[in-house]
Structures are given as C-alpha cells and as structure tokens.
Amino acid sequence: MDDNNQKKGENQSPGKPILETVTVDENSPENLPIEETPEEISTPAVDYPREETGSLYATPPVFRENRKKYLLVAALGSLLFFVFFVLILNAFFSSRGSAKEVKLVYWGLWDQREIFQPLIDDYQRRYPHVKIEYIRMSPENYREKLLARSRLGQGPDIFRFHNTWLPQLREIVAPIPEEIMSSQEFEKIFYPIHQKDLKIDKYYYGIPLMIDSLVLVYNQDLFKKAGINSEILTWEEVTNIVPKLTVKDPQNNLITSGLAIGTVSNLEHFSDIFGLLLVQNGASITDLTSSEAVGALEVFRRFAEPPNEFWNEKMPNSINAFIQEKVAMIIVPSWQILAIKAANPDLNLKVTTVPRVPGSDLVSLATYWVEGVSRYSKDQVEAWRFLKFLIEKENLTKLYEITTRYRLFGLPYPRVDLRDLLVQNQYLGPVMKQADNLVSLPLISQTFDNGLNDKIISYLENAINSTIQGVSYEEALRTADQGVKQVFEKYNIN
C-alpha cells in the first residue's frame, strides 16, 4: 500500500464502515439500456360510404393495407423483445461466471489449521471465487505484528483478538456492515457481554466464535477425603471449607492447600481473580483508592496471610499444584481445564460457577476471543460474509464437533440459542450458566498483548507484592491507581 493510501486508512473514523469499492460492469443487467415499449399503433377511424345493395362499392383496400402494417410492427416488436431478453440472460450468467477472484488471509491463534479447514472448504465450495488461507500465529508479540503489518498493507483480512483489545485496535479494525449483519441481528444472536465489549458508537467491530469466563475447579477426591459433599455457592462457604481441605506438617509447612489465592509469583490468573473480587465487591478498576477496592484486596490476601496461611509462595505454580493434587480448589478460565486433564487424565475434578458474595447475584469475569476484519482489507464485505457463515448454527456445532477430535471439548457457543446444548456439559455448563452475568476488565492474564492488560497487571503485581512486604492495602492500591490511570490515558479510555 502506498503512503497516501496508508494515511487515508489511518485518518478514517471507526464509526463509519469502510467498504470495498465495487467496479461497475457496463454489461451487467442493471446497466444495460432499457428499450422503451413502442406506443400502441392505432388506425384512425375513416368515414366510408355505406355499401348499398347491388352497389359496386366495397371496403376500401387501404384498411387491409394498414392491418398488414400493424401485424408487421407487432412481429418486429416481438423479435426485438426476444433478442433483448436473450441478451439480458447472457449478461446475467456471464457476470455470475466471471465473479472476481478473492483471496482472504485469516490469522488465527490457538486453533490449528485442521480445525478450521473443513469449514473453509465448505465455504469455498459454496463460493468458488473465494480462497481463504488460515495461518496460525504465535501469541508472542502478536498484537504488535498485527498493528505494524496492517499499517503497511501487509496484514491479514481476518484476525483474532481478545475481548479487551478493541481500544488498542481502533485504527485497524473495521465495523460490521449493516448489509451483512444489522445491530438488531447481532443483539439477538449474542450475549450482553458481546454487545458491551464490541460496540463503539452504533457499530459492532467483531464476531465472536466463543464465550468464556472464570470458573471454580475442585478436586472431588480431596473433597471426599475431607468429608465435604456440599456444592460451593458462596465465598462464605469457601471460607468455611478451606481449613478442612488444608493439610500441614508438624512444622506448619503446607502439604495440601484448600484454595490457591492471595499471591502473585505462583498464582496463575492472579489478576483475573482480583478483578473478579473487585466486581463482586462493587469496586471499579478506574478507582482503586475506593474502600470497595481495598476490601477486595483484603479478601484476596486473607487466605495467604499468617497465621492461617492456606496458600503461600512456597507452593508450586497453582496449575501444577492442582495437577499434583496439592491444592483442592483453583479459579481459572475454562480453557485451563484442557491443560489440566491433558497432564493428568485420571484427575477427578469438577467444575462449578465462581463463588458469589452472599445475598448477591452471580457474576464472573469474561475472557474470550473475537474474529475481526481489517479496515485495510480490500475485500471487507467478503471477509465479513465468511465470518457470518462461521456463526451459523450448523457451522458452530460442526466446529465444536471437529475440535473434540483434537481435545477434550470445543469452544463454548457464543449464540444464546445454543446455550442448552452445553448447559449440562460437565466442563462448560458453568460457563453457560454465568454467560448472562459477565463483566469485562483489562486484567486478563495470558493475552500476551504487551499493552492494556499486561501494563495494568504489572501495576497490580507490584501493589500486591508490596503488601506481602508490609505496605498497607490503601497505600499499595493508591500507587497502582496512578499507574492504571496512565495506561487508560494512553489508550484513550474514559
């Protein structure tokens, strides 16, 4: 792409769709000249003398001559209409047979090409003029590569991005054209969190192929050993059973922990868990100095502080500790279950919704990936048309079935009308139950964005570590709040 085109792309507002310029075919049916229908030919009335009995007068010959002319004109008109009709049909079928060849480059992240290729093949059979190349990208520096190559006109037509990334991708992401999917249709198909995360002004900027959130995963064998049979619903219940699940040696060293929470260095998804507590405690990431935010940090640290110390930094990484049956409960996004079961297939685990604050509604933290289209793509409409094809019911269920050939379960369905297919699933059922009550925060670990999430997480990491060293919760969060506001300002987030 030349510099002028690039500058134009950068200055365009994300509020207005940028569509492919369509070349007008002069031979298409819409542009062929329309032949006007000749006015009806009529013969003026002539007052001829009446024929008398025995008279030599007869009907004048001119009357018969005019009738022949009328028949001749009618025949010529019919012939011209037939020729015109044949030309229209020929132009129509010629235009269909000579559709412009389109090549779409699709950057994926976590799924191998074999998962998407059957659906790509189905689409290409339906639209032979479209060729789609799926490329699985490495998550390392992915966001930076996406931005840099798109600016140079060398990026993909379709790409995957995290639900928290839209503020970082405004300059390259295109809105969904109304003729592909209206806002009303989007809102009918997808969950409220999709609508909240992917909308700027009146346009939506992505089509999700999934939904996911934090869930509570626990070891049923450890629960049975501790004599715990009840379902975990609230944080109060968690607080009551953690001591029963915790085992220490005579020197007070942890052997088995009841719950992995309260630290940073060895706790996977520590920022996600803290974000969940912020939301459940009525706090906001935009004001970490509030009493609600301080209360959330207090709950987070309580389980790892002396004298109880149900979890500490001497324990293995929380995911490894769960695989080794050294911790009874962890809070993770559902996709982590895949890694856990792959490492220990015999592990007797159960998945449930995250604990809620007593007396409050169920709420969890959203974390999912979205498919977007580049505003630098020359074939935006074709790209969006393919993504809409992917979220048709039969294609989402096919994608799920294909995925289960390679791993334990597929992507949790993003369509509200497919919820019932997974609500009883032992691994994804809790995700479906929470799907209407999700909140998004830029505190999601392992997005590898080197931007919004990672920068905010680093400030929280410093804050929590400082409390381990004796800094008060208030002072630690006051420092973090200053850093978070700088990040928001950088990405123009109010």
Task: Express each pLDDT in 203-231 by its tens digit.
Answer: 999 999 999 999 999 999 999 999 998 88
Residue 171 and residue 70 share a domain: yes
> Could you write out the DSSP letters of every residue in 362-383?
--EEB--EEEEEBTT-S-HHHH
Q: Is residue 55 part of a domain?
A: no
Q: Is residue 41 part of a domain?
A: no
Residue 425: what pLDDT?
A: 98
pTM (2 d.p.)? 0.80
- The span from the first CA to the last CA of the chain, in angstroms, equals 33
Task: Express each pLDDT in 11-22 by its tens digit.
Answer: 343 444 433 333
Residue 377 and residue 417 share a domain: yes
Residue 237 and residue 163 share a domain: no
Residue 418 and residue 342 share a domain: no
Under DSSP, the state recorded for 310 is: S
Residue 168 and residue 305 share a domain: no
Residue 87: what pLDDT?
A: 56
477 or 68: which carries more pLDDT confidence? Answer: 477
Domain that holds residue 283: 214-365+451-490
Task: Express each pLDDT in 238-260 by its tens digit.
Answer: 999 999 999 999 999 999 999 99
Q: Is residue 53 part of a domain?
A: no
CB 351, CB 284: distance < 8 Å: no
Residue 100: what pLDDT?
A: 86
Task: Express each pLDDT in 86-125 by its tens digit.
Answer: 455 454 444 444 468 999 999 999 999 999 999 999 999 9
Task: Express each pLDDT in 387-414 by its tens digit.
Answer: 999 999 999 999 999 999 999 999 999 9
- With 50 as the cut, is the pLDDT of residue 10 above it? no
Q: Is residue 43 part of a domain?
A: no
Which of 46-50, 215-219, 305-309, 478-482 shows the lowest mean pLDDT across its residues? 46-50
Q: Is residue 130 part of a domain?
A: yes
Reading the block at residue 65, the tokens are: 């001559």
> Could you write out the DSSP letters of every residue in 69-127?
HHHHHHHHHHHHHHHHHHHHHHHHHHHHHTPPPEEEEEEESSS-HHHHHHHHHHHHHH-
Number of domains in the chain: 2
CATH of the domain at 392: 3.40.190.10
Residue 76: what pLDDT?
A: 61
Residue 456 and residue 421 share a domain: no
388 or 30: which carries more pLDDT confidence? Answer: 388
Question: What are the Cα distances from residue 232, in Å, to 218, 281, 336, 390?
Answer: 10, 19, 20, 36
Q: What angle do CA 361, 367, 373 make, to 5 degrees?
A: 130
Q: Is residue 267 part of a domain?
A: yes
Residue 184 and residue 78 share a domain: yes
Phi, psi of 19 (to 5 degrees): -110, 160
Task: Express each pLDDT in 123-164 by its tens digit.
Answer: 999 999 999 999 999 999 999 999 999 999 999 999 999 999
Residue 104 and residue 10 share a domain: yes
- With 90 as the cut, is the pLDDT of residue 366 above it? yes
Reading the block at residue 106, the tokens are: 């699709």
Residue 196 and residue 246 share a domain: no
Q: Is residue 113 part of a domain?
A: yes
What is the distance, to the nearest Å, from the Cα of residue 12 to the centroid of all Cα atoms in its chain?
23
- With 80 as the cut, is the pLDDT of residue 429 above it? yes
Q: Is residue 31 part of a domain?
A: no
- Residue range 29-41: average pLDDT? 36
Residue 85: what pLDDT?
A: 56
- Residue range 35-45: average pLDDT? 36
- Residue range 312-336: average pLDDT? 98
CB 311, CB 321: distance < 8 Å: no
Residue 344 and residue 409 share a domain: no
Owner of token pair 């911790």:
327
Residue 178 and residue 283 share a domain: no
Separation of alpha carbons 29 and 287, rounded Å: 61
Residue 224 and residue 185 share a domain: no
